[in-house]
Amino acid sequence: MPAKHPKASRLQSELARKILHLLKDEGAAAGHHLVELDLCEAFGVSRTPVRGALKLLAADGTLTSRGGRGFILARLPAAADEDERSAEDEEDRHLFEALAIARAAGQLADQFTQQEVVRRFGAKLSAVMRALRHLGELGLVERKPGNGWAFVPDPARILNESYAFRRALEPQMLLQPSFKLDRTWAERARERHTKLRKRPWKSGDGVIFHAVNAEFHEQLARSSGNRAILKAVQRQGQLRDFLIGQWDYPMEQVRSAIDDHLEILAALEAGYADKAAALMLHHLTQSQSQNEVA
């Protein structure tokens, strides 16, 4: 199972867990054949991470490899195994957040070792290594020659480069021929945005919007029907989680961003993809100029 394979990427471990949940939801029995393409479409990812997740599940005996003909279900893990996987995911999330908070507060040096992180945060070495690999994949840390890690300098530049990339990508994702808006989600998103905009403002609400904002952009990427776009937007969201996830944005900027989101939704629902793309470009450009939410 994923917890026993520390070399697995975070994405592969998450996919392995999602595949297990899917098999349980479908009531799959031993001998059930897993089709890679179906899993790619179900989770919006390419074949490479799906194949890695299947190999993880095969390594713990959940699946059986059929050589070049894919995998079949051997057994579903016991509830205790699932609990262990969920506990690992929760552990990783808490450590990621703790590292982000410490770095933002200037409590984490530019250079450090994994052993220092273990001691400081009381985390398992395996969890620390997963977190550092994840941060490395996001371009936030680098392994030093010999021993230790270092944060990539100039986080403001990293964030500005992220904005530049998103300005090139996110308007275009709304213009994809495969784009299909999930109208049920759009209605829920409108209600959630409107409720947040109307609530009496208090300290901390800007942080709450960060999650609403991330879900909005990721769902639009998922609606594009393009797995490469979805993966890219998810990675940018994770990068922003680390760099600015704890910012308590001012009320005026949050409400402005909410209004932008609602305008984009209205244009998409009316079938005006060109207008929605222009609104998205304006939204991201304005957000970068404020160095605030997007």
Q: Where are the domains of the chain?
A: 2-73, 89-151, 155-290
> What are the beta bridge partners of residue 141?
151
Distance, C-alpha 177 to centroid of its chain:
24
pLDDT in tens, 99-127: 999 998 889 999 999 999 999 999 988 88
pLDDT at 16: 87
Return the CATH class of domain 89-151: mainly alpha
Parts of the chain with a pLDDT under 50: 1-6, 80, 292-294
pLDDT at 283: 96
pLDDT at 7: 58
Residues 6+ apart with CB under 8 A from 62: 1, 20, 73, 74, 75, 76, 77
Q: Check: CATH 1.10.10.10 for 2-73? A: yes
In the block, tokens 């490899």 appear at 65
Q: What's the predicted TM-score (pTM) here?
A: 0.69
pLDDT at 247: 76
pLDDT at 3: 42
Choose among 13, 86, 93, 74: nearest CA to 49. Answer: 13
pLDDT at 263: 98
Q: Check: CATH 1.10.645.10 for 155-290? A: no
pLDDT in tens, 142-183: 999 878 999 999 988 999 999 999 999 999 999 999 999 999
Number of C-beta neighbours around residue 284 at 10 A:
21
Residues 6+ apart with CB under 8 A from 108: 99, 102, 151
pLDDT at 47: 85
Q: Are the folds of 2-73 and 89-151 the same?
A: yes
